């Protein structure tokens, strides 16, 4: 019996050794699908992202009957691409990933969506936009989806001392607040957090958003999505 660790290592070797122009076969994709070190590994796609896209279909860019979403979407922590594989047609995605293997796996597993969605893959973290102070010309999106980790060193490098301090002890709240900076007027931020942390995270996010953004946002009652909750904030 091959252990999980051995499977992960074998997938990492496969990614490192493949040619730059390698074309994945269906069995390759099934193999990559077994990687469980990405941030979204524990998320049940059929529950969490179904809920996310159901909620998005009620936005102005969503057309529920046609299962379409005509807006621009930022995924701050792309993981293995689960947010995209279940996405409606039409959405234009900017997918950020701060782990090389997950970045490659997300590209491989979601490339099939390219005939129905525009996909831009970007290696890095949104925290990079908040280095040194200036944020003029920050890109904006209709929908931002974030599934932040509990800890992240990059969050500690923020120019705002209050946020850098929060980033050090609670990266989830940090990324939720910084993700909101990318939401355009009328747009929405959805943050996926573990069930046991959602109240604490939600309270911290509201407090910090008020500190950073003032009264420019509205929030909904957190939505239950299995082992997780979805926090929703709209820019008014």
Give the binding range for another protein (CB under 8 A) out of 56-64, 97-105, 163-171, 208-216.
97-105
Q: Which is nearer to another protein, 140 or 234 (CB)?
A: 140
Quick one: which segment of 21-29, 49-57, 60-68, 136-144 binds another protein (CB under 8 A)?
136-144
Distance in angstroms (rounded) separating the CA atoms of residues 67 and 13: 38
Cβ neighbours of residue 112 closer than 8 Å, sequence gap 6 or more: none
CB 91 within 8 A of CB 110: no
The answer to whether 128 contacts another protein (rule: CB under 8 A) is yes
Please tell me whether residue 118 adopts helix, strand or coil conformation: strand
Does 138 bind another protein (CB under 8 A)? Our answer is: yes
Q: Is 13 in the site for another protein (CB under 8 A)?
A: no
Distance of alpha carbon 132 from its chain centroid, rounded?
24
Question: Containing H/E element for 51?
Answer: helix 50-56
Taking the complex as a whole, the smallest distance from the CB of residue 99 to another protein amounts, in Å, to 7
> How far is it, in rounded angstroms, from Cα 174 to Cα 209?
10
Q: Which is nearer to another protein, 122 or 197 (CB)?
A: 122
Contact between 5 and another protein per CB under 8 A: no
**Bridge pairing between strands 141-146 and 72-75:** parallel
User: Given candidates 46, 112, 139, 186, which one binds another protein under the rule CB under 8 A?
Assistant: 139
Q: Which residues bind another protein (CB under 8 A)?
A: 16, 98-100, 103, 120, 122-124, 128-129, 131-132, 134-139, 153-154, 157
């Amino acid at each position: 019996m091959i252990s999980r660790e051995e499977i992960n290592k074998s997938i990492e070797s496969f990614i490192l050794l493949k040619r730059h122009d390698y074309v994945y076969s269906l069995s390759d994709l099934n193999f990559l699908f077994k990687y469980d070190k990405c941030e979204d590994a524990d998320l049940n796609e059929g529950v969490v992202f179904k809920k996310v896209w159901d909620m998005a279909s009620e936005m102005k860019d969503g057309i529920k009957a046609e299962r379409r979403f005509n807006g621009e979407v930022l995924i701050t922590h792309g993981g293995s691409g689960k947010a995209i594989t279940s996405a409606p047609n039409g959405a234009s995605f900017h997918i950020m990933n701060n782990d090389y293997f997950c970045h490659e796996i997300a590209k491989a597993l979601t490339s099939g969506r390219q005939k129905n969605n525009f996909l831009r893959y970007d290696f890095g973290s949104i925290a990079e936009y908040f280095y040194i102070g200036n944020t003029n010309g920050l890109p904006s999106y209709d929908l931002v989806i974030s599934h932040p980790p509990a800890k992240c060193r990059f969050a500690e490098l923020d120019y705002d001392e209050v946020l850098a301090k929060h980033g050090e002890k609670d990266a989830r709240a940090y990324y939720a607040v910084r993700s909101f900076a990318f939401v355009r007027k009328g747009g929405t931020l959805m943050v996926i957090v573990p069930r046991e942390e959602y109240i604490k995270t939600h309270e911290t996010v509201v407090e910090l958003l008020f500190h950073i953004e003032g009264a420019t946002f509205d929030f909904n009652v957190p939505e239950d999505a299995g082992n997780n909750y979805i926090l929703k904030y709209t820019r008014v």
